[in-house]
Structure 1
């Protein structure tokens, strides 16, 4: 196994998590300070999701034309430029366009990078290697809000830090080879409905985690502020959620190599449902902190297991195509989650964020117990 390439690709993708962890809360908090309402902030949070859908349609064609490594480096640099412009041109409509471009560019990196990581992973270590990547990505997001707290939200250092991180990510890929072979039509975005019908539980898990991630970085700090907490505590809550995500991914990956992955999948869904329902009840008690940890761990576990299950089933061209569909589903989750939660927060309930997650988790639990994991009824069980 090419360990150097594995860690370089992980580092390049993880640089995105840290950059977004710094800039996404800063965008939301800046809009809040400008007087924008929950729906407007939700629209801004959801805009990159449109870019995700576009990126998933063009990733395969561009990779076949320019090469996987070159394209990933180019997209990281485009993302860096866009984040830098957020600091230079602070105007809501321009920010919408820039966030759209960020969504397109970084989605291409995610599709190709996660395919590359899964292709490199040997079968007997797949759960742990994918979980290690997931842990690193979650830790990068954890470090983002903490770093933003240190840099401050009253200046533009967060934007410039994100720019530098994405440039650094592109440098990590210099000279790396061994990416999956990509056909021009691999990531064209065709066949999404068929993919969802064949893998309904996995598809829903991806949508649910995408909505979770978009809302944690953008709407959770606002949720905390509007429930009476200080900005520092609200940002700490977002960080603790990501701590839960990061801390338990390796144990989940270890378990995924030793037990029924479907049963582990179900356990994560039930835990997410229970913790989501508990948040409004425990929000102003000390028990909210372990609840945030379980909330993050169970949501992150759903996505980690989804990647593991896809990686064990597909290789090369099919793996890239499957990850393109994952990116499309991610875009749908990022689009629907913040928009629906922002609207519900403004017009229905101040606790819309955890209640919407509970609704999504309930849908996953229903699918996990009533539908086959794959279209042929195969249950993924580690050897």
Structure 2
């Protein structure tokens, strides 16, 4: 870990500052939208637009990089992000915000593709897993820090929009001044969605609904807090609790994943998420709200990694990288629909609809996982590849990096079995 940090600290610092900027805008727009009189459904469209842009960017950014190169794409998209963050308070209209969120989602996706390409290029087979884990930690820390900055200014003014714009601008300095030579860029061939579903129905359905739930959490938590009447400070702690849970519970669940059957752990994690959602909905109190947010966030990220690992358990090594594009697309579709569903439900039901939507989405994952358990026997734990931490907001590069780690783990396991058989 220290070796990875020493070789990639500037890149990781830049990513953390980018995540601070990205984390502020989601919470801040939820507060400012209410002050401007936007309806809950209008805000859900605004929030959903980010994920539509992100999905589009994840498919277009590789082509842009091939045409003009990493550095030009990185610098150009970073400049656009900084500009959009300042434009929000000057164009206080839901249609304008939706278009800006669409564009900034596209830009962030391209930035992540570029930065993760550099991270992948800096890592080797021995530390690739550690590099991805450290990248995840830095992302989470950035989002958590962002919530603390929300309280330093007036959301009805300009300063809270200027701060993330400045941080994003600064973020590119350490990256562009210290990155290694531009890495080669390529993406894997794709596995069709139909083939992917035939191989792992639970992986496809699970990622679709977990992607929707994560987008609700990421995009609508600020809207919920505003609708629920939380103060600016309490809202920032509430949103931070989701990501603190994701940071602290990711690794215990990963440890269990290598010792307990995937489907059992998927059902257990989703059940904890449902219980936490219902607790927040049924039991009033700010302490209950924070605790529920902690466990919802703590289950959401690991669930994505578990479903990805479960899918890989049924893939051949040469198919794993090919599956990444399909999984990204499925996750992206869910992420677009999730906030829209939350906004539609929160309109008539009020703020509590936020937790009802989360509970329903995770309940679908539980029900389908239980049903699939009756349709196909689980792969023994000792025959599965190790768990890899990867978040739903990861770019195709990070997902393919995770797939490479799975491939290496599977090949190492096969070599170990062959060596044991040879000795016997």
TM-score range, shorter chain: 0.7 to 0.9
Matches within 5 A, 1:241-260: 241-256=242-257
273-282 vs 207-216, which moves further? 207-216
Check 1:222–1:89 CA distance in 2 against 1; reply closer, same or farther (3 A cut).
closer
Check 1:286–1:98 CA distance in 2 against 1; reply closer, same or farther (3 A cut).
closer
State the Cα RMSD in Å: 3.8
1:40 matched residue in structure 2: 42
Say how many residue pairs are matched.
Answer: 378
Check 1:170–1:208 CA distance in 2 against 1; reply closer, same or farther (3 A cut).
farther
Secondary structure in structure 1 of the residue aligned to 2:38? coil
Equivalent in 57, 60, 69 of residue 59 of structure 2: 57
Check 1:266–1:359 CA distance in 2 against 1; reply closer, same or farther (3 A cut).
same
Contact conserved, 1:275 with 1:294, CA < 8 A, in 2? yes
Matches within 5 A, 1:313-328: 319=321, 322-328=323-329
1:380 matched residue in structure 2: 384
CA distance in 1, matches of 2:87, 2:191: 33
- 1:256-283 deviation line (CA, Å, top 9, x unaligned): 5666555544432222122122221223
Matches within 5 A, 1:230-379: 230-256=231-257, 263-284=264-285, 286-305=287-306, 319=321, 322-348=323-349, 350-371=351-372
Contact conserved, 2:18 with 2:167, CA < 8 A, in 1? yes
2:134 matched residue in structure 1: 132
2:185 matched residue in structure 1: 182
CA distance in 1, matches of 2:323, 2:151: 37
**Structure 2: runs of 5 or more not aligned:** 387-412, 414-424
Task: Tell me the TM-score normalized by structure 2.
Answer: 0.74
Contact conserved, 1:77 with 1:170, CA < 8 A, in 2? no
CA distance in 2, matches of 1:29, 1:370: 41
Equivalent in 93, 99, 102 of residue 101 of structure 2: 99
Secondary structure in structure 2 of the residue aligned to 1:296? helix
276-285 vs 155-164, which moves further? 276-285
Check 1:283–1:193 CA distance in 2 against 1; reply closer, same or farther (3 A cut).
farther
Check 1:51–1:298 CA distance in 2 against 1; reply closer, same or farther (3 A cut).
same
Check 1:3–1:265 CA distance in 2 against 1; reply closer, same or farther (3 A cut).
farther
Check 1:170–1:229 CA distance in 2 against 1; reply closer, same or farther (3 A cut).
closer
Task: Tell me the TM-score normalized by structure 1.
Answer: 0.81
1:150 matched residue in structure 2: 152
Shift of 1:226: 3.3
**Structure 1: runs of 5 or more not aligned:** none
- 1:102-130 deviation line (CA, Å, top 9, x unaligned): 11111123345456656766677666553
266-275 vs 43-52, which moves further? 266-275
- Say which one has the larger Rg: 2
173-182 vs 26-35, which moves further? 173-182
Check 1:62–1:220 CA distance in 2 against 1; reply closer, same or farther (3 A cut).
same
Shift of 1:338: 1.0
